[in-house]
Structure 1
């Protein structure tokens, strides 16, 4: 059986070479779903596809693990889709399922092709978004299905050193909050951020907070790494731990530097955007910056509005009204996020907004009326908005009903911005 989150994203049926196939029939114990984002017109895709075909056939013949690939096409013409799919031995998302293709791309934040996303078919859990890299580096599938190592296990297996080069046992820091600091000596933004991080680190230590930082270098030479590490009051992965540095960056999807990832004592990820959090909270009042089910909309949240659908309750900004907004949204948000944790960037984010520049800019962009209270679901990347009906009292019950209808696709979307048409006179 397929996990419900997969059925919701992929659909009940997928395309096989002999017709439609029930998704439930290709899911089960030890079965992994590979979502293969690719296109006929893409030269790197056409290079990678034969490699994936070879691995797919190898797994079918030689291991207990079963990989079922579903081709998610970026082709613009159906003929090109069918021509390309004819070279593949697996399943495909039907070409006409455009909305599902967009949904899957957004859900797994696919930014380029070819891309291979691996998902556990029974639990719906993401295994890795780096499937292409895994296939290239492990063509015999010796480590398939490439489940990421737990971060604590990975760190425990590496060599940590202080600024004097002395090895430090992981056991001495395993129960602390940890900051994984991806940085490099050659990187100007890194060299600007490191002193800010050092100040925060000293402040936390002075307040007796159990917090440790591990420098994970992107330097190009051991000398540069050592020189840079000597400016830091914290630990580092040893220079020879190249594979561990790469593995951590892959697991945590580090796209650039500087990046500060904050881990809880159990090594669960609290935030991968510690740099922004520290910039917004230099006094460390919110440290360790755990995400809240409902947050007050601020500048630092704008990227989330671009990436995920968000519910915003607009208020007049008075303290009592902001608290009212939190109280209304919190039960709805907690229930929703618990049920939709598998949806990643497709899951609703919940915000309460006041009357400030950030709220005004969102209202202006989405062409929302300047009234309060106002409840809107904004899906900026999809160009859609959904509004709680005018005249409906804003309460936990009405917002819950609004979210339920949105989740069940019972609401009609409005365009973020009005569609303008120009009249043409004929004579």
Structure 2
């Protein structure tokens, strides 16, 4: 049986070369599903597809591993899709499932093709989003299905050194909060951010002694790494541990530097947005910056508005009104997230917004009236918005009802931007 999250994301059936195939028939213990985001018009895709075909056939013929690949096409017409799919020995999402394709791309944060995302069919959890790189580096499938090592195991397996080059045992810091700082000496934004991080690090150490920082270098030479690390008052992954540095970046989906990730003592990720959190909270009063069920909308949340549907309660920005908005939303958000949050799922995010440039830009983009309070669910990627009806009092009860109707597809979407009406030529 396929995991409910996969059934929700992919549907009960996918397309085989001889007709529909039940998702449950290709799911089960130890079975891996790979979503192949690709398109016929994409030269890198056409270059990678033969590699993936060879890998797929090798796996089927020479190993006991059970892998099924599902093409998620970005082709622009049915004929191109069919032509591309005809040369593939696996399954596909039906071409007509355009909305599902968009949601899958958002759900797994696919920003470029080709991309190969491996999922555990029984749990629905992501095994790795780096399938393309792994197929290229491990064509014999020697370490397939490439399940990532736990962060604690990775850190325990590496060599940690202080700025003087002395080795520090992982056991000495394993029970601490940990900050992983992905950075490099050649990177101007990194060199600008590092002094800020040092200042905040020293404040955190005074308040929370149980905190350690670890530099994960992207430097191009050992000399650059040593010079850069010597300016920092914390530990570093040793230069020779290149594989561990790469694996840490892959596991934590580090897309660029500088990146500052905060781990709990049990090595679960508290936030991957440490840089933005630090910028907003330079006194570290909210450290370790645990995610909030309801947040005040800020510039750093713009990416989230693009990635997931979001509920925003717009207020006039007064402190009392922002607190009112948070009080209204908090019980709804906590109940919703408890019921719906699961790994990989596109869950609704909750924000309260004030009167500022960020709020104004969101209102302008979504063509929302300049009234308060205003409650809207915005799904920017799908170009849809849902508005709490005029005249309805904004309260926890009415917002809860609004969210329930949204979850049950009982709300009628409006376009984010009005569709321009075509003028009639009467000449």
Query: TM-score range, shorter-chain basis?
Result: over 0.9
Q: Deviations over 1:214-273 (max 9, x none)?
A: 111111111111011111110001000000011111111111111111111111111112
User: Hey, what's the Cα distance between the residues in 1 that align with 2:181 and 2:83?
Assistant: 46
Q: How far apart, CA to CA, are the structure 1 residues paired with 2:209 and 2:282?
A: 15
User: CA contact under 8 A between 2:178 and 2:265: conserved in structure 1?
Assistant: yes
- List aligned pairs for 1:162-173, cutoff 5 A: 162-173=162-173
Is the partner of 1:289 in helix, strand or coil? coil
Q: Counterpart of 2:85? A: 85
Query: C-alpha deviations, 1:156-206, integer Å up to 9, x for none?
Result: 000000111111000111111111111111111111111111111111122
More moved, 289-298 vs 229-238? 289-298
Question: Do residues 107 (structure 1) and 113 (structure 2) align?
Answer: no
1:227 corresponds in structure 2 to: 227
Partner of 2:65: 65
**Aligned-partner Cα distance in 2 for 1:84–1:366:** 37
Residue pair 1:106, 1:345 contacting (<8 A) in 2 also: no
Aligned Cα RMSD in Å? 1.6
Counterparts of 1:85 and 1:106, CA distance in 2: 22
Match of 1:374 in 2: 374
1:161 aligns with 2:161: yes
State the Cα deviation string for residues 126-153 of structure 1 (Å, max 9, x = none).
Answer: 1111010111111111211111111010
The alpha carbon displacement at 1:346 in A equals 2.3
Range with greater deviation from structure 2 (28-37 or 299-308): 299-308
**Which deviations, in whole Å up to 9, do the C-alpha atoms of 1:43-95 show, x marking residues without a partner?**
22122112212222232234343111100111112111111111111110011
Describe the shift of the 1:283–1:422 C-alpha distance in structure 2 as closer, same or farther (beyond 3 A): same
**Is 1:107–1:343's contact at 8 Å kept on the other side of the alignment?**
no
Q: Which residue of 2 aligns with 1:189?
A: 189
* Equivalent residue number for residue 212 of structure 2: 212
**How many Å separate the matches in 2 of 1:360 and 1:345?**
29
Structure 2 spans left out of the alignment, 5+ residues? none
Q: CA deviation at 1:381?
A: 2.3
Could you say what secondary structure the match of 2:342 adopts? helix
Contact 2:126 2:344 in 1 (8 A): no
Q: Which residue of 2 aligns with 1:48?
A: 48
- Using the alignment, how far apart are the partners of 1:423 and 1:293 within structure 2? 46
SS at match of 1:346: coil
**Match for residue 147 of structure 1?**
147
Contact 1:38 1:72 in 2 (8 A): yes
Instruction: Give the CA deviation at 1:358.
Output: 2.6
Preserved contact between residue 353 and residue 359 of structure 1 (Cα < 8 Å): yes
| 8 Å Cα contact 1:308-1:345 kept in structure 2 | no
2:135 alignment partner in structure 1: 135
Displacement of 1:347: 1.3
Bigger mean CA offset, 396-405 vs 268-277: 396-405
| C-alpha separation in 1, matches of 2:319 and 2:164 | 50
- Match of 2:311, SS state, is strand
- 2:160–2:235 Cα contact (<8 Å) kept: yes
**Secondary structure at the counterpart of residue 342 of structure 1:** coil
Q: For the Cα contact (< 8 Å) 1:30–1:64, is it kept in 2?
A: no
Q: Could you tell me how far apart the structure 2 residues matched to 1:310 and 1:193 are?
A: 30
Equivalent pairs, count: 427
Q: 1:335 to 1:60 in 2, by over 3 A?
A: farther
The residue aligned with 2:36 is 36
User: 1:409 maps to what in 2?
Assistant: 409
